[in-house]
Amino acid sequence: MQSPIRERIKQNKAKQSSLNKIEVIMPKLFLLMASFSILVTVGIIFTLFKETVLFFSEVSFIDFITGTEWYPFFGNDPSYGIWPLLSGTFTIAAIAMLVAVPVGLASAIYLSEYASERKRKILKPILEVLAGVPTVVYGLFALTFVTPLLQTFIEDLSIFNALSPGIVVGIMIIPQITSLSQESMNAVPQSMRDAAFALGATRLEVALKVVIPGSFSGIVSSLVLGLSRAIGETMIVSTAAGSTPNLGFTPTESIQTMTSYIVQVSMGDATYGSTIYYSIYAVGMTLFIFTLVMNVLANHISRRYREVY
């Protein structure tokens, strides 16, 4: 009969063996999970690239990047100049940032520097509810409420326009800018605030001259990420902006963005394998490049200007 000590040692060895197996398996499982996201990204890029090559085998790349007319449905003489879609996309993004930047930064400053803990616990969840609203609901809100409201002030505003969805896209990205900016502001040490107060600075001066410079990298990153979200927005502009590819900054007229064109063609306006069908991949690749550049820029700014406390 084994002694209790030997039996305990045997149990510990079995337990240790099991733990060793887990230690070997778990890193491989974690690597598999990390590799999965990379493989998905590679698959997306491969699909876009393959279909984009087919599009440029039929349409000149130079005409695509320099053309100022986008009329793919003109049967005899189609035009595939991307600039009208870029113009519409950047018009929406510019209006959205004009709305989101002041409101988002002001909200972040208030939550970080002025609001009490009790108010912060109430206001921040309410603000973040905006991030959970489906974008199609935002689109209907822009079409049925914001546009009629704006028409009372702007008589020549058409039903489909850039101004209304631009404002609503700005409202949609406010929580993202506010949350990321506030987190950056909260990372600024309290000792820096106390030192500024000791020198006679007011709370506003501390916020503008100490907290914002100290959290500059995080704030800029939040703005760039908000801009990339505005560029890639789909349902709001598809619902309320129209489908007229106009070149130029025309917020009161119907426009078309890159995402809304993709939706239009994907809903059955083109046959599979046609030039128009492949054009959505070329537009998608252009959109992917812009959003990739925005994210790389945000990461670069975050690393370049990050303050370590």
pTM, entire model: 0.84
Domain assignments of the chain as residue spans, ordered by start: 4-57, 71-304
pLDDT, tens digit (0-9, with 9 covering 90-100), for 238-289: 888 888 888 878 888 888 899 888 888 887 667 777 888 888 999 999 998 8
pLDDT at 309 over 70: no
Percent residues over pLDDT 90 in the chain = 17
The reported pLDDT for the residue numbered 91 is 92
The reported pLDDT for the residue numbered 11 is 60
pLDDT, tens digit (0-9, with 9 covering 90-100), for 92-136: 999 999 999 999 999 999 988 888 888 888 888 888 788 788 888
User: CB-hemisphere CA count at 13 Å for 137?
Assistant: 7
pLDDT, the chain, mean: 84
Percent residues over pLDDT 70 in the chain = 90
Give me the helices (H) in the chain, please: 4-56, 61-66, 83-109, 117-132, 135-141, 147-151, 163-186, 190-198, 203-206, 212-214, 216-232, 235-240, 258-264, 275-304
pLDDT, tens digit (0-9, with 9 covering 90-100), for 197-240: 888 888 888 888 888 888 888 888 888 888 888 988 888 998 88
Superfamily of chain region 71-304: MetI-like (1.10.3720.10)
